[in-house]
């Protein structure tokens, strides 16, 4: 691993440090600073000529700041002649606008893919993309990991009596089905309708959740409305307890407060987005080993497919 260098942006330094520790490496030095007018400047403080370079940065809130920082780091890296640059993006922001679902709207997931490549990324390592087909927005290799192995291991230890995995909307069914198969558990779906962006109206629960421990799985918690209203519907339909399992805890606005006052027994999230001092209802699992192992295998030109299981 000597010819492999790992850098981190400012968005999730804690996770980057854990990944480096897993790999028995130090993060390589980089100076990221702001000019007086707020513009970002970067200086790579290590020789990377001919090296295999990884830059870890989640594009979580503040999204534009973190994305721009990543682009500028990529540009600085590219101009320092490395052999290859892999952008490790544990949380890929702007992913939810992945198609034109109404006239005259952007496809930001594709726009971000384009600018990452223009800035200098040769390959991407990411996790639980909002839609797996976002991989196809890149014409460079993308390794797309799932947090499921980490989540399922934890959920199994809870030894649920009658678990049912719940997809809080149709978009999450595939993810939920994978969880249900592997836990194992039954599957249910909450039929969710949105009146307007960030507003949710629950219609009904498809599947039997009566006397079950319901585990809602989703890729993102932003306002929390999807999960919280799904939990209400599940309790109304006879679930004894409700758990949440979500890879990317964006936790926008007053979402943390909302969960404190919710019907959830526990909400399990990962550290793709950094959080500190969360209330005890949240359990944070680390995906550092998964990402670290993927980095190792990419560097050693080894297969990463066994990490998907
Ligand atoms: C939707 O398609 C996603 O999978 C999540 O359900 C959604 O992004 C969650 O958003 P919020 O927490 O704002 O309801």
Q: Check which CATH number belongs to the domain holding 166 and give it.
A: 3.40.50.2020
Q: What is the DSSP string of 134-183?
A: GGGG-SS-EEEE-SHHHHHHHHHHT--SSEEEEESSGGGHHHHHHHHHHT
Two structure tokens written together for 293: 């192992």
The number of the ligand 1 atom at minimal distance from the alpha carbon of 172 is 4
Instruction: Name the band, by pLDDT with cuts 50, 70 and 90, for residue 9.
Output: very high
pTM, whole model, 2 decimals?
0.95
Q: Is the pLDDT of residue 309 over 80?
A: no
Q: Are residues 88 and 167 in the same domain?
A: no
**Residues lining ligand 1, CB < 6 A?**
96, 168-169, 171-172, 198, 200, 218-226
Least confident segment among 24-28, 166-170, 200-204:
200-204
Each residue of 22-58: pLDDT tens digit? 999 999 999 999 999 999 999 999 999 999 999 999 9
What is the average pLDDT across 186-195?
Answer: 85
Instruction: Name the band, by pLDDT with cuts 50, 70 and 90, for residue 1.
Output: confident
Q: Which residue out of 60, 221, 273 has the highest number of ligand 1 atoms within 8 Å of its CB and is therefore the one to mutate?
A: 221
Q: Are residues 81 and 155 in the same domain?
A: no
DSSP one-letter code for 108: H
Give the C-alpha separation, 179 to 189, whole Å.
Answer: 13
Summary mean pLDDT of the chain: 95
Q: Are residues 137 and 160 in the same domain?
A: no
Give the C-alpha separation, 98 to 100, whole Å.
Answer: 7
Each residue of 61-90: pLDDT tens digit? 999 999 999 999 999 999 999 999 999 999
Residues of the chain above pLDDT 90, percent: 91
Q: Decide if 239 contacts 209 (C-beta within 8 A).
A: yes
The predicted pLDDT at position 116 comes to 98
Q: Are residues 272 and 299 in the same domain?
A: no
Q: Whose CA is nearest to atom 7 of ligand 1?
A: 220
Q: Are residues 162 and 277 in the same domain?
A: yes
Q: How many domains does the chain have?
A: 2
What is the residue range of 100's domain?
Answer: 4-146+288-307
Q: Which of 25, 51, 192, 296 is catalytic?
A: 192
Q: Is the pLDDT of residue 239 over 80?
A: yes
Instruction: Name the band, by pLDDT with cuts 50, 70 and 90, for residue 202.
Output: low
Tell me how far the alpha carbon of residue 200 lies from the centroid of ligand 1, in angstroms: 9
Establish whether 192 is a catalytic residue. yes
The number of the ligand 1 atom at minimal distance from the alpha carbon of 171 is 2
Instruction: Name the band, by pLDDT with cuts 50, 70 and 90, for residue 7.
Output: very high
The number of the ligand 1 atom at minimal distance from the alpha carbon of 222 is 12
């Amino acid at each position: 691993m000597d010819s492999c260098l790992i850098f981190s942006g400012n968005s999730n330094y804690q996770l980057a440090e854990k990944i480096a520790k897993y790999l028995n490496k130090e993060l390589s030095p980089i100076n990221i600073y702001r000019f007086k007018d707020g513009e970002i400047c970067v200086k790579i403080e290590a020789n990377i000529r001919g090296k295999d370079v990884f830059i870890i940065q989640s594009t979580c809130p503040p999204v534009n700041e973190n994305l721009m920082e990543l682009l500028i780091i990529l540009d600085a890296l590219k101009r320092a002649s490395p052999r290859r640059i892999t952008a490790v993006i544990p949380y890929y922001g702007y992913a939810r606008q992945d198609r034109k679902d109404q006239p005259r709207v952007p496809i930001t997931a594709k726009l971000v893919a384009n600018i990452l490549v223009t800035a200098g990324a040769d390959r991407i390592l990411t996790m639980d993309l909002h839609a797996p087909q976002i991989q196809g927005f890149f014409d460079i290799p993308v390794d797309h990991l799932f947090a499921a192995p980490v989540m399922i291991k934890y959920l199994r230890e809870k030894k649920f009596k009658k678990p049912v995995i719940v997809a809080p909307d149709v978009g999450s069914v595939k993810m939920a089905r994978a969880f249900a198969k592997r836990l194992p558990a039954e599957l249910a779906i909450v039929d969710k309708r949105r009146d307007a962006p960030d507003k949710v109206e629950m219609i009904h629960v498809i599947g039997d959740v009566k006397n079950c421990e319901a585990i809602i799985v989703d890729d993102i918690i932003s306002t929390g409305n999807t999960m919280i209203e799904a939990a209400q519907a599940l309790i109304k339909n006879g679930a004894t307890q409700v758990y949440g399992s979500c890879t990317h805890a964006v936790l926008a606005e007053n979402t943390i407060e909302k969960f404190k006052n919710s019907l959830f027994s526990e909400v399990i999230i990962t550290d793709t987005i950094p959080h500190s001092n969360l209330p005890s209802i949240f359990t944070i699992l680390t995906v550092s080993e998964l990402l670290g192992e993927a980095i190792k295998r990419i560097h050693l030109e080894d297969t990463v497919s066994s990490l998907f299981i």
